[in-house]
Structure 1
Amino acid sequence: MDSQSFYLAEVFSYESLVHAMAGAMGSVTAMTVFFPLDTARLRLQVDDKRKAKSTPAILAEIIKEEGLLAPYRGWFPVICSLCCSNFVYFYCFHSLKAMWLQGQKSTPGKDLIIGIAAGVVNVLVTTPLWVVNTRLKLQGAKFRNEDIEPTHYRGIVDALVQIVQNEGVGALWNGTCPSLLLVLNPGIQFMIYETLKRHLRGGVHRELSSLEVFAIGAIAKAVATTVTYPLQTVQSILRFGQHRQPTEQSKLQSSLRSVMYLIINRVRRSGILGLFKGLEAKLLQTVLTAALMFLLYEKIAAATFRVMGIKRPLTSR
C-alpha cells in the first residue's frame, strides 16, 4: 500500500467512525444532564450587569423570573451543535493521530498538536451552529444590561436565515478568532487526558475503570477550562452580538482586535475578575460534563469494538 492510500485508509477508517460516534453520544448525554449549569455560566458571561452569585443562586433567580424550564432554554440547538462538533473533533483527532503515529506510541507534545489541528477544523466547520445556539439559548432571557437587544427567532433554520439577511454571512462566524485561540482548550484537555491514561495503564493495554476515566477526564477539563476561560467569555459575547447601539465591538466583529477590545473593556468595567465571571458555574458544568462524556465515550467505544470483534487500535491507547 502506498503512502497516499494509507492516509486515505486512516481518514476513512471504521475505527475513526467509532470514536466519533462514541464521542458525540457521550457528549450529548453528559451535556443534557448538566445543561442548567451551562445556562448559568452563559448568562453571567453575556449579561455583565448581573451580579455574580453562586451557581444555585443564579439558577434560582432565572427560574423565579423566567419559569421552571428556563434553565433548559435552547437545549435542542445546543445538543445539535454539540453532537456535530464532537463528531467532527473526535473523528479528526483519531484520524490525524493514526496518520501521524502509524502504530507508534504517542507523546504529550504530539497529542497537543493533534488536538489543536482537530480543533481548527472543528471551529471552521461548526461555528455557525454555535452562533445560532448562543442566540437561541439567550432568547427570552431577562437581562440586566439594557444595551442588549432581544431577538425573535423561531428555530435553528430561521435564526440562520435572519442572521444572514440582517447581519451578513460573515456574522455566522462571529467569535471565530477567539474560537481559533480556544482550540488550545480541547488540545490541552486531550493532551492531559491521554497522558494520564498512558500513565495509569503503565504500558499495559488494559481498560481503565470507570472511576479512573471519570477522574482523569475531570482533571483534564478543569485545567484546560481555567487556563482559557477569559477567551471563552469573549467568545460568548461575540457570538451573541446583540447590542442596540452600533459600537466599536460590533464593527470589529470577530477580529483579533475585537478580542483585545473586549478583554480591556471587561477589565475596565469589572476588573480582572470580570474576565472570570461565571467560572464557578463553568467549572462545575464543564468538569462534570467532560468527566461523564469521557466515561461514556470510553465505554461506548470499547463495547462497539468488542461487539464487532475488532481489537482496539493502538493509536487509541
Structure 2
Amino acid sequence: MSSEVFSYESLVHAVSGAVGSVTAMTVFFPLDTARLRLQVDEQRKAKSTPAILAEIVKEEGLLAPYRGWFPVICSLCCSNFVYFYCFHSLKANWLKGHKSAPATDLIIGIAAGVINVLVTTPLWVVNTRLKLQGSKFRNADIHPTDYSGILDAFAQIIRDEGVGALWNGTFPSLLLVLNPAIQFMIGAVAKAVATTITYPLQTIQSILRFGQFRDSTERSKLLSSLRTIKCLLVNRMRKYGLLGLFKGLEAKLLQTVLTAALMFLLYEKIASSTFRVMGLTNNHYKKR
C-alpha cells in the first residue's frame, strides 16, 4: 500500500499535472477574470467576453485582467498536485494490475476530488478575495478588502470571520467534484458539458468564497438567514431570472475548454518525457 502511495510514478503525475495546469491557466487567465466579475458583481450587465475584458482594462488598467494571478496560480498548483497525486495513488492501489475502466476512473476521480476540496478550499477562498480586491464593482453592497498578500488575507479572515470562513463554499465544491472527475475520464468536451450543467453551483461557490458585502437590509438578511445553496440560487433567479445563474458562462466555457485542452497536452508531454527518461515508459506510463 505505502509503496504505491509514495511512488515516483504518482509524484511524476502530480508534478506534470501541476505544471500543465499552471501554464494553461496563465495563458487563459483573463477569461477567468471576466467570469468571476460577472458571477460576483450582480449589477454588472452581461456582455461578450471581449467587451467585459475591454471594460475592465479601460477602468482599471492593462494588467487588471491578471489581478490576483499569483495566489490563483499557487492555489491551482497545490490543488492539481493534490488531485493528480491522489488520483494515481488511489488508482494504483485500487487496480493492483487489473485493467482500468471509465467507471473506475470516475469513482477514483470523485474520491480524489473530495480530498482535494477538503485540503485546498482555504487557498481558493483567499485567492478569490485577492483576485477581486481593487476591482471596480457595480454592486454597491460589496465591502472592499485590504489584504497585503496571501498570509495577510489568511490572518484577516481568521481574525474577522473565524477559521470556518476559510472553508466557505465547501459544500458546493464537494458537489462539483464530478466536474474534474468527468474531465479526467473523458476530456475537454465532457468538461464543457459538465461545466454548463454545474455552472449555477459554481456561481454560488464564488459568492460564498468572496463573502464581502455591506450590511444592507436585503443582503444582511440573505447572508444571515438564507445562507444555503438552495436559497442563494432561488434569490438570484428571482432577481435576475434563470439567465442570472449563468452570468459569465461564455467566459467560463472558453477558459475551461482551452485551459483543459492545453493542460492535458502539457501534462501528457511532461509525464511521458519524464517516464521515458526514467525508463518506465512501457511498464508504468502506458498502464495509466
TM range, smaller chain: over 0.9
- Cα offset, 1:247, TM superposition: 2.1
- Residue of structure 2 aligned with 1:266, choices 213, 236, 241: 236
1:74 — aligned with what?
68
- Cα offset, 1:145, TM superposition: 0.6
Count, aligned residues: 284
My pick for the range that moved more, 62-71 or 100-109, is 100-109
Alignment partner of 1:55 is 2:25: no
- 3-state DSSP class of the match of 1:132? helix
Q: What CA deviation, in whole Å up to 9, does each residue of 1:44-96 have, x standing for no partner? A: 00001100000000000000010110000000000000000000000001111
2:203 — aligned with what?
233
- Cα offset, 1:250, TM superposition: 3.0
- 3-state DSSP class of the match of 2:139? coil
Uncovered stretches (5+) of structure 2, i.e. residues with no partner: none
2:193 — aligned with what?
223
Alignment partner of 1:104 is 2:98: yes
Residues 5-84 of structure 1: pairs in structure 2 closer than 5 A: 7-84=1-78
- Cα offset, 1:220, TM superposition: 3.0
1:156 — aligned with what?
150
The separation in 2 between residues aligned to 1:127 and 1:143, in whole angstroms, is: 24
Residues 179-198 of structure 1: pairs in structure 2 closer than 5 A: 179-193=173-187
The separation in 2 between residues aligned to 1:97 and 1:250, in whole angstroms, is: 40
The separation in 2 between residues aligned to 1:95 and 1:288, in whole angstroms, is: 27
- Cα offset, 1:249, TM superposition: 4.1
Q: What CA deviation, in whole Å up to 9, does each residue of 1:164-207 have, x standing for no partner? A: 000000000000010111111111212223xxxxxxxxxxxxxx
The structure-2 alpha-carbon separation of the partners of 1:125 and 1:268, relative to structure 1 and needing over 3 Å to count, comes to: same
The structure-2 alpha-carbon separation of the partners of 1:262 and 1:316, relative to structure 1 and needing over 3 Å to count, comes to: farther
> What CA RMSD, in Å, does the superposition of the two structures yield over aligned residues?
1.4
Q: Structure 1 counterpart of 2:140, which letter? A: E
1:213 — aligned with what?
none
Q: Which runs of 4+ in 1 moved over 4 A?
A: none
Q: Structure 1 counterpart of 2:271, which letter? A: A
- Cα offset, 1:252, TM superposition: 6.1
The separation in 2 between residues aligned to 1:250 and 1:138, in whole angstroms, is: 19
Alignment partner of 1:143 is 2:113: no
The separation in 2 between residues aligned to 1:63 and 1:314, in whole angstroms, is: 44
- Residue of structure 2 aligned with 1:131, choices 125, 128, 141: 125
- Cα offset, 1:314, TM superposition: 6.0
Q: Structure 1 counterpart of 2:254, which letter? A: L
Tell whether the 8 Å contact from 1:119 to 1:186 is kept in structure 2 after alignment: yes
The separation in 1 between residues aligned to 2:54 and 2:287, in whole angstroms, is: 42
Q: What CA deviation, in whole Å up to 9, does each residue of 1:17-67 have, x standing for no partner? A: 000000000000000000000000000000011000000000000000101
Tell whether the 8 Å contact from 2:44 to 2:139 is kept in structure 1 after alignment: yes
Tell whether the 8 Å contact from 2:113 to 2:177 is kept in structure 1 after alignment: yes
Question: TM-score by structure 1 length?
Answer: 0.87
Q: Structure 2 counterpart of 1:269, which letter? A: K
The separation in 2 between residues aligned to 1:252 and 1:315, in whole angstroms, is: 52
Q: What CA deviation, in whole Å up to 9, does each residue of 1:199-253 have, x standing for no partner? A: xxxxxxxxxxxxxxxxxxx213212211211111010000000011162443369
The separation in 2 between residues aligned to 1:173 and 1:130, in whole angstroms, is: 9
- 3-state DSSP class of the match of 2:28? helix
The separation in 1 between residues aligned to 2:258 and 2:59, in whole angstroms, is: 27
My pick for the range that moved more, 99-108 or 151-160, is 99-108
- Residue of structure 1 aligned with 2:159, choices 162, 165, 188: 165
The separation in 1 between residues aligned to 2:172 and 2:137, in whole angstroms, is: 24
